């Protein structure tokens, strides 16, 4: 801008012109491809400025974090999509799962593999129990949004402080080897993190395939997309709702165990993860199961890559920032097509 000239404010016509630009139209038509293109450009920029090794190393950490977010997010987004319930207690499902695994793995001394299955089963049971005693009856009474929001908050407190009552506030850990590392291609990662990435991605792929190809998965997505329409095609909605809670609970339990394995186990574990998981859900488009899987991984990568540019103490804030920016700029999510939000 030359001295003396006043920069033109972003006026309505300019905004319109931006919206109608070629790039914007392409982005609207191919949201997935343009999201991948943007992330690709970002990676190239980071490699150019920070070097391939650092980008790959932080990316590896990001994959461990991202798989926890993704597994936590898919259940939350399906519950939202199908029941229109923003479940603020979902984070505390993760806490519950982590402590169930702690009970089996540390208190009883059973190997972690069995503890994971126990934690998943118990958290699934927790989800179904509250569907039966709370959410189902409330839906039958046509409860309003505020009622459901505050009940989910109440449930979050109930679970968190019941856990705190039994196990106290001290910081505990699962019986994992947190010293051993794995090295390849000049990269180094903790063995536990490495296992979390493997398990996490195996589960992500399995969940993705199940949602894409199995009848139950298709029914879940159909209900999440349009409940009334799905019901008219003859889907047994109450059965699918029950399976959704089993599915969401089991995955939340698993995410809790994975998070507990790479960090520690404490009553606030899940609440600390809730907002990043919300960010992953919104990033992928709320109610969209595949979006949540991708959103979780993208968020994990972004948070770890951010440490290349800012002090690592602030990386938690990156999750919040992504949440706010996506809500403001693209509330339908980076992969979503514009809908009434």
Partner 1 sequence: MSALLASHLPALTLPFAITLEPFTAVKFWTGVGILAATYTIFGLGLQLNVGFTGIVNFGQAGFMAVGAYSMGILVVKADWSFWIALPVAIMIAMAFGVIVGLPSLRLRADYFAIATIAFAEIVRFTAQNARGLAGGNQGIFGFDDQWNNVSDTINGWLESLGWSDPETLFPLFIVAWAVALILTAALYFVQRTPWGRVLRAIREDEDAVRALGKNTLAYKLQSLAISAALGAIAGFFLALNLAFLHPAEFDPLFTFIGYGVLVLGGLANYWGVAVGSIIMWTILEGSRFIDLPLTPEHVEAVRFMLVGLLLILLMAFRPQGIFGKREEMVLGE
Q: Which residues bind partner 1 (CB under 8 A)?
A: 86, 134, 137-138, 142-151, 153-158, 160-162, 164-165, 168-169, 271, 275, 278-279, 282, 286, 313-314, 316-317, 320-321, 323-324, 327-328, 331, 341
Between CA 70 and CA 277 the distance in angstroms is 8
| Cα→Cα distances 29→38, 128, 199, 286, 335, Å | 15, 39, 34, 19, 11
CA distance 264 to 242: 31
Instruction: Specify the residue, 110 or 134, whose C-beta has the smaller distance to partner 1.
Output: 134
In sequence order, what are the beta bridge partners of 80?
A: none
Least distance to partner 1, CB of residue 151, Å: 5
CB of 197 to partner 1, least distance (A): 27
- State the nearest-atom distance from the C-beta of 326 to partner 1, in Å: 10
Tell me the three state secondary structure of residue 189: strand
Kindly tell me which of 47 and 307 has the beta carbon lying closer to partner 1.
307
Q: How far is the CB of 48 from partner 1 (least distance, A)?
A: 30
In the bound state with partner 1, the residue whose beta carbon lies nearer, of 160 and 192, is 160
- Report, in Å, the least distance between residue 210 CB and partner 1: 27
- Beta carbon of residue 90, minimum distance to partner 1 (angstroms, whole number): 12
Decide whether 36 or 134 has the Cβ nearer to partner 1: 134
Which CB sits closer to partner 1, 109 or 144? Answer: 144
Q: Give long-range contacts, CB 8 A cutoff, 24+ apart: 49-57.
A: 50/308, 53/186, 53/187, 54/308, 55/305, 55/308, 56/185, 56/187, 57/187, 57/188
Of residues 274, 269, 243, the one with CA closest to residue 256: 269
The full 3-state SS of 170-209, as one line of letters, equals CCECCCCCCCCEEEECCEEEEHHHHHHHHHHHHHHHHHHH
Q: Which is nearer to partner 1, 64 or 322 (CB)?
A: 322
Q: Based on CB atoms, which residue is closest to partner 1, 179 or 328?
A: 328
Helix (H) and strand (E) counts in the chain: 15, 2
CB atoms within 10 A of CB 269: 24
CB of 168 to partner 1, least distance (A): 6
The CB-side HSE value for 217 (13 A sphere, CA atoms) comes to: 13
């Amino acid at each position: 801008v030359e001295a003396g000239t006043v920069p033109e404010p972003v006026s309505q016509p300019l905004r319109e012109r931006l919206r109608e630009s070629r790039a914007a139209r392409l982005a609207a038509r191919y949201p997935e491809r343009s999201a991948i293109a943007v992330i690709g450009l970002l990676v190239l920029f980071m490699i150019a400025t920070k070097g391939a090794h650092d980008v790959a190393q932080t990316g590896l950490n990001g994959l461990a974090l991202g798989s926890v977010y993704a597994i936590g997010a898919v259940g939350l987004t399906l519950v939202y999509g199908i029941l229109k319930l923003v479940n603020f207690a979902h984070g505390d499902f993760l806490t519950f799962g982590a402590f169930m695994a702690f009970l089996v793995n540390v208190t009883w001394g059973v190997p972690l593999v069995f503890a994971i299955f126990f934690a998943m089963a118990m958290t699934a049971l927790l989800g179904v129990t509250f569907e039966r005693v709370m959410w189902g009856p409330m839906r039958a009474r046509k409860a309003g949004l505020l009622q459901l929001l505050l009940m989910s908050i109440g449930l979050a407190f109930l679970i968190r402080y019941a856990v705190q009552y039994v196990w106290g506030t001290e910081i505990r850990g699962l019986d994992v080897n947190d010293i051993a590392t794995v090295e390849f291609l000049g990269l180094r990662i903790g063995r536990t993190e490495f296992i979390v990435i493997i398990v996490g991605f195996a589960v992500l792929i399995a969940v993705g395939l199940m949602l894409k190809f199995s009848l139950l998965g298709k029914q879940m997505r159909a209900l999440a997309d349009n409940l009334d329409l799905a019901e008219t095609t003859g889907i047994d909605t109450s059965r699918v709702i029950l399976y959704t809670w089993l599915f969401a609970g089991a995955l939340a339990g698993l995410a809790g165990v994975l998070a507990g394995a790479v960090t520690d186990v404490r009553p606030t574990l899940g609440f600390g993860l809730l907002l990043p998981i919300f960010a992953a859900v919104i990033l992928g488009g709320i109610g969209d199961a595949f979006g949540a899987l991708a959103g979780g991984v993208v968020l994990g990568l972004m948070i770890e890559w951010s440490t290349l540019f800012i002090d690592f103490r602030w990386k938690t804030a990156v999750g919040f920032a992504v949440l706010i920016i996506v809500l403001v700029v693209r509330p339908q999510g980076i992969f979503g097509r514009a809908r009434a939000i």
